[in-house]
């Protein structure tokens, strides 16, 4: 029986005739976002830095969606020329993009005392330019598609750390807060061109990192549900579990779709109630 988490999010042709781009699309939330968009009929271009992982993701996607319009290219979002090349190749393969999902970027665990100047620079560069470079490269396509289709949008995967910082992730928390501001600024600047910009704030979501910690658990009798449930309780997550990549992916897909056509400059909280803000 199909569970609610496995059920289709949008009708199979809901995004037909539209091209989406997903950065960091070879694993985790990025890969789940590609799957959601393909299942709704969109043509999707994805990129990632690791060519081997990207090839594996593409093989998985083609097996799952044999009729899908799909394009993939290795790309470093911190390299402006690499992103420009990806944008040109994507447009040649699938047509101009109407939807851009900026998903690349990981967190850095460090306190103020043990974060070096270089670590600060690396973290700020990653968080900002993983959005700046793709947005700059794909904006002309988005503007053109907005004129043709009536809607075009950008969605950025961000973290709850932007509003609820953690001292053991000081650099990431500060950078994430900056991205919150950047999204709002871009939404205002791009509004006259008809391009919407939004984001999501992710809490604790199942990932390879958490799976590795689970594999290293002391009590091997605990299954994933019990172990992650204890983690959620320790982290004070009201829903009592970690999020699933598809749950963040659906929010991203919604924000770049025409179903969110009057939403811009906002963020959706995907944290299971972990947010303490009002």
Q: What does the pLDDT average to over 224-236?
A: 91
pLDDT computed for residue 211 by the predictor: 86
* pLDDT above 90 coverage of the chain, percent: 86
User: What does DSSP assign to residue 261?
Assistant: T
* pLDDT above 70 coverage of the chain, percent: 97
How big is the CA angle at 269 (ends 45 and 246), to the nearest 5 degrees? 40
End-to-end Cα spacing for the chain = 37
Query: Residue 2: pLDDT above 80?
Result: no
Q: Do residues 277 and 162 make contact, with C-beta atoms less than 8 angstroms apart? A: no
Query: Residue 83: pLDDT above 90?
Result: yes
User: Where is average pLDDT lowest: 75-79, 95-99, 105-109, 223-227?
Assistant: 105-109
User: Where is average pLDDT lowest: 35-44, 56-65, 228-237?
Assistant: 228-237
What are the b/e assignments for 197-233, b being 16+ CB within 10 Å? bbbbbbbbbbbeebeeeeeeeeeeeeeeeebbbebbe
pLDDT computed for residue 159 by the predictor: 95
What is d(CA 132, CA 110) in angstroms, rounded to the nearest whole number?
25
What is d(CA 67, CA 236) in angstroms, rounded to the nearest whole number?
43
Residue 197 is encoded by which pair of tokens?
């910009």
Reported as half-sphere exposure (CB side, CA atoms, 13 A), residue 87 has a value of 21
Q: What is the pTM of this model?
A: 0.94
pLDDT computed for residue 103 by the predictor: 94
What is d(CA 82, CA 273) in angstroms, rounded to the nearest whole number?
38
Question: Which residues share a beta bridge with 252?
Answer: none
46 φ, ψ (degrees, to nearest 5): -130, 155
Question: Which residues share a beta bridge with 152?
Answer: 195
What is d(CA 117, CA 112) in angstroms, rounded to the nearest whole number?
10
Cα separation values, 206 from 77, 189, 272, Å: 24, 34, 12
3-state class (DSSP) for residue 49: coil
Q: Do residues 46 and 22 make contact, with C-beta atoms less than 8 angstroms apart? A: yes
- Cα maximum dimension of the chain: 57
- Give the DSSP H/E element, type plus range, for residue 86: helix 80-94
What is d(CA 10, CA 7) in angstroms, rounded to the nearest whole number?
9
Q: What does the pLDDT average to over 34-38?
A: 97
Query: Residue 209: pLDDT above 80?
Result: no
Per the prediction, the chain carries an average pLDDT of 94
Phi-psi region of 254 (alpha: psi -120 to 50; beta: other; left: phi over 0): alpha
pLDDT computed for residue 244 by the predictor: 95
pLDDT computed for residue 3 by the predictor: 44
């Amino acid at each position: 029986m199909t569970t609610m988490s496995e059920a289709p999010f949008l009708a199979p042709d809901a995004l037909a005739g539209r091209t989406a781009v997903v950065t960091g699309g070879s694993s985790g939330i990025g890969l789940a976002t590609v799957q959601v968009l393909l299942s709704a009929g969109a043509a999707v271009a994805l990129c990632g830095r690791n060519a081997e992982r990207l090839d594996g993701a593409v093989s998985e996607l083609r097996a799952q969606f044999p009729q899908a319009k799909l394009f993939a290219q290795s790309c470093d979002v911190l390299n402006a020329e690499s992103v420009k090349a990806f944008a040109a190749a994507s447009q040649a393969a699938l047509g101009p993009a109407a939807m851009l999902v900026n998903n690349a970027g990981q967190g850095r665990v460090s306190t103020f005392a043990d974060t070096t100047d270089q670590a600060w620079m690396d973290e700020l560069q990653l968080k900002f330019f993983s959005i700046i470079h793709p947005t700059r490269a794909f904006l002309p396509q988005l503007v053109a598609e907005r004129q043709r289709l009536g809607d075009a949008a950008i969605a950025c995967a961000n973290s709850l750390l932007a509003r609820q910082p953690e001292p053991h992730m000081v650099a990431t928390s500060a950078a994430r807060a900056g991205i919150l501001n950047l999204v709002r600024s871009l939404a205002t600047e791009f509004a006259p061109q008809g391009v919407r910009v939004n984001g999501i704030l992710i809490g604790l979501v199942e990932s390879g990192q958490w799976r590795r910690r689970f594999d290293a658990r002391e009590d091997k009798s605990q299954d994933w549900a019990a172990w992650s449930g204890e983690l959620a309780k320790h982290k004070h997550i009201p829903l009592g579990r970690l999020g699933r990549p598809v749950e963040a992916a659906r929010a991203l897909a919604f924000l770049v779709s025409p179903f969110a056509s009057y939403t811009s400059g906002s963020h959706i909280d995907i944290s299971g109630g972990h947010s303490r803000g009002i």
